[in-house]
Chain A
């Protein structure tokens, strides 16, 4: 016998199911709640940074849009600070929820362009959005990132880990000048790189 480590085990994940919107975005489920739904407030006018719009869809392995997905976004402000860090832009939540159109699966996110943030070994991480996807059929929420096609991604330490290199483009949006398109593929030839982080 040996001494016993008394760490606990993380609570296991279960799928968010088809009615996740009732819990996280009741208005989308058709329910008006006493308070406000969180994550849909947008970016207040006084927050500095270029305004951007990201549209896209999530596709399953058969190429069908995942119309019941819910995505959460976490990002730095234009100066590269996350909310709560010293220097962060006041009033910027850095966090948003995205629910697509239930018929087409098309989503739209209005936010600001994030700045680069410090990464491992003092290298900068290129500007990116962190994304977390949950839906019916997804047993554990999927983490990924979206990078920008018109920023310098060449030295990004996360993108450069991806092999083969052609898969790096699954994390880079298309478009330019504040209007970006980002499709996520849960499986298949164009499967998005998901992170265990």
Chain B
């Protein structure tokens, strides 16, 4: 077993000058291409003992004296691999700004206020079919130092493990209809518009909870597995 080669033309290249921080942080020499070894084809596994029961509910997990401010949403979807197989029992970690666009991080100095009832971080394990869901408030757009007037579209950061260390992935989920997406240099670091579309979650209105919250759907695809399709064994199998 080994993994499908990562399609580097589908991912953003390391050097994307419109995203200025990438200029000094991008390797300039070619990556060394390797067939995966046991060191990459194994990876850490997690279980329910590793996370807390309320970790997938960001409306409640840091609430002190009430619910956080903001549009109540559920994000759900499946984690699959490129072979369309579900990835069960894999850990997803998320982090995001609050409804005003402010992160609960000691390095975030944006003038929008901290929400005392919102931490903006959570975790969830996929089930046996690769499904996951978490509840949160929709993050706000926020300004960042790139151009003099650069704004990030509303987004949720996601980290996914898969079952092999070389499947490790961090990405960002955007929201259907956000006019800042097309203007964002981090989004546009991705060269292929079809790949950008894969990061934009549609509103899943059929799943919305009446009188409670809207729902967005976000599926995640990890690298596929290459199996031996033909083996020339003496017995013919």
Contact = CB atoms under 8 A, between A and B. Distances in A.
A95 interface: yes
B159 A68 contact: no
B50 A186 contact: no
A187 B22 CA distance: 11
Given A14-B171, A16-B170, A120-B37, A31 B190 contact: no
B169 A13 contact: yes
Contact of A10 (B10, B50, B95, B107): B10
Contact of A162 (B32, B104, B107): B32
| Contact count band on A | 35 or more
Nearest to B39: A130
Interface in A52-103: 60-62, 64, 66, 68, 72, 74, 76, 82-85, 93-95, 102
A138 B14 contact: yes
A154 interface: no
Interface in B51-104: 51-52, 54-55, 61-62, 80-84, 91, 93-95, 103-104
Interface stretch (B130-138, B208-216, B220-228, B229-237): B220-228
B12 A14 contact: yes
A139 B22 contact: yes
Contacts of A94: 44
A145 B104 CA distance: 32
Contact of B104 (A8, A22, A66, A197): A22
A187 B24 contact: yes
A31 to B, nearest CB: 5
A179 interface: no
Nearest to B197: A12
B127 interface: no
A191 interface: yes
Contact of B170 (A13, A34, A187): A13
A109 B52 CA distance: 25
A30 B105 contact: yes
Contact of B121 (A22, A135, A186, A192): A22
A145 to B, nearest CB: 8
B165 A74 contact: yes
B52 A33 contact: yes
B13 interface: yes
B166 A143 contact: yes
Given A10-B10, A137-B24, A139-B189, A35 B84 contact: no
Nearest to A21: B105
Contact of B169 (A11, A18, A24, A128): A11
Interface in A153-192: 158, 161-162, 186-187, 191-192
A19 B108 contact: yes
B37 A119 contact: yes
B25 A82 contact: no
A82 B93 contact: no
B49 to A, nearest CB: 10
Contacts of B108: 18-19
B25 A12 contact: no
A95 B50 CA distance: 13
Contacts of A85: 42
Residue among B16, B94, B95 with the highest chain A CB neighbour number at 10 A:
B95
Given A10-B7, A33-B52, A130-B40, 13 more contacts: A10-B11, A11-B220, A17-B172, A19-B108, A23-B157, A30-B104, A31-B121, A61-B23, A72-B168, A118-B38, A130-B39, A140-B11, A193-B29
